[in-house]
């Protein structure tokens, strides 16, 4: 098939100063996109900040013959999200693609999760996507075109010890993806999610280095391309493997006079996975 190119399209990639975001930005730029490389430049836990990380990725893109601008606004505030989109408009005049990738970690067993530990993770992961998209969404709808990729996680879909805040935020991103895929359908705005498995500074010590971020970006490029009509779906991706994630519902039971005792007696039927319906 013909190469998937993005000539003239403008892509925003958040958290693009390193790891997955950097890889996505480089891949989209290599394919002709004009890229806003957003990164606060902070530590893994979200503290601190510097424009250096984003600027270095922009330098890489330009050295390879691409075009990009750096942005160090925080996705964690409505003003920051709006400023990121405005950077795209000021630099390139439009927005076509949004890749919500920015993230931090504040892991703790649930008994140790404080409001601050919860809030800061929700602010970056879940509210961060809201903050960017609230400004980008009207633009995409008005031009009747847009592609959005949200970064969910296996922690949000399957669970992981010590990541109740992170998992809740990532599960929320899947809900956001589903709703926006419905609302954006009539305006040719396609919205999907990925659950990546890759070796980055956020997974250092937990992930084999062969799980390179560069093996995630081809899926992102496909989901961001005009030829991709898929919307509202989620994909697990890592180490060269791509698979669809879906939510299924068993046939279950139907009892007009349902009682707790009936459920107890027939719980095996209710849970039987051999006959199910895919809901998304």
The string of pLDDT tens digits covering residues 85-122 is 999 999 999 999 999 999 998 879 999 999 999 999 99
| Domain ranges within the chain, ordered by starting residue | 10-245, 248-280
Q: Averaged over 155-182, what is the pLDDT? A: 95
Say how far residue 142 (Cα) sits from the centre of its chain. Answer: 23
Q: Tell me, what DSSP letter sits at residue 110?
A: G
Can you say whether residue 45 is alpha, beta or left, with left for phi > 0 and alpha for psi between -120 and 50 degrees? alpha
Kindly report the CA angle at 162 between 161 and 163, in degrees rounded to 5? 95
CA distance 106 to 98: 25
Q: Tell me, what DSSP letter sits at residue 202?
A: T
Q: Please tell us whether the domain made up of 10-245 is placed in CATH 1.20.140.10.
A: no
Nearest to 50 by CA among 17, 19, 23, 80: 17
pLDDT at 275 over 90: no
Active site residues: 166
Which residues fall within 8 angstroms of residue 2, CB to CB, at 6 or more apart? none
pTM: 0.92
Q: Averaged over 144-167, what is the pLDDT? A: 94
pLDDT at 65 over 80: yes
Kindly report the CA angle at 163 between 235 and 26, in degrees rounded to 5? 45
Collapsed DSSP state (helix, strand, coil) of residue 108 = strand
């Amino acid at each position: 098939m013909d190469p998937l190119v993005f000539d003239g399209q403008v892509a925003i990639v958040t958290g693009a100063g390193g790891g997955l975001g950097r890889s996505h930005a480089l891949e989209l730029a290599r394919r002709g996109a004009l890229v806003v490389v957003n990164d606060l430049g902070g530590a893994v836990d979200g503290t601190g900040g510097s424009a250096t990380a984003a600027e270095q990725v922009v330098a890489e893109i330009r050295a390879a013959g691409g075009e990009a601008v750096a942005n160090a606004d925080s996705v964690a505030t409505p003003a920051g999200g709006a400023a990121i989109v405005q950077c795209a408009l000021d630099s390139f005049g439009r927005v076509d693609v949004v890749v919500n990738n920015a993230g931090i970690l504040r892991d703790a067993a649930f008994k140790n999760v404080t409001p601050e530990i919860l809030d800061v993770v929700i602010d970056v992961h879940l509210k961060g996507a809201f903050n960017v998209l609230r400004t980008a969404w009207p633009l995409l709808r008005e031009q009747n075109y847009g592609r959005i990729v949200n970064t969910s996680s296996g922690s949000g879909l399957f669970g992981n010890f010590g990541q109740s805040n992170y998992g809740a935020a990532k599960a929320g991103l899947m809900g956001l993806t589903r709703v926006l895929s419905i609302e954006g359908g009539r305006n040719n705005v396609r919205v999907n999610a990925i659950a990546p498995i890759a070796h980055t500074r956020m997974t250092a010590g937990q992930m084999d280095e062969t799980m390179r971020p560069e093996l995630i970006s081809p899926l992102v490029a496909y989901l961001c391309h005009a030829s991709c009509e898929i919307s509202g779906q989620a994909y697990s991706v890592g180490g060269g493997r791509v698979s669809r994630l879906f939510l299924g519902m068993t046939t279950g039971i139907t009892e007009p006079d349902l009682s707790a005792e009936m459920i107890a007696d027939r719980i095996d039927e209710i849970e039987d996975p051999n006959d199910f319906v895919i809901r998304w």
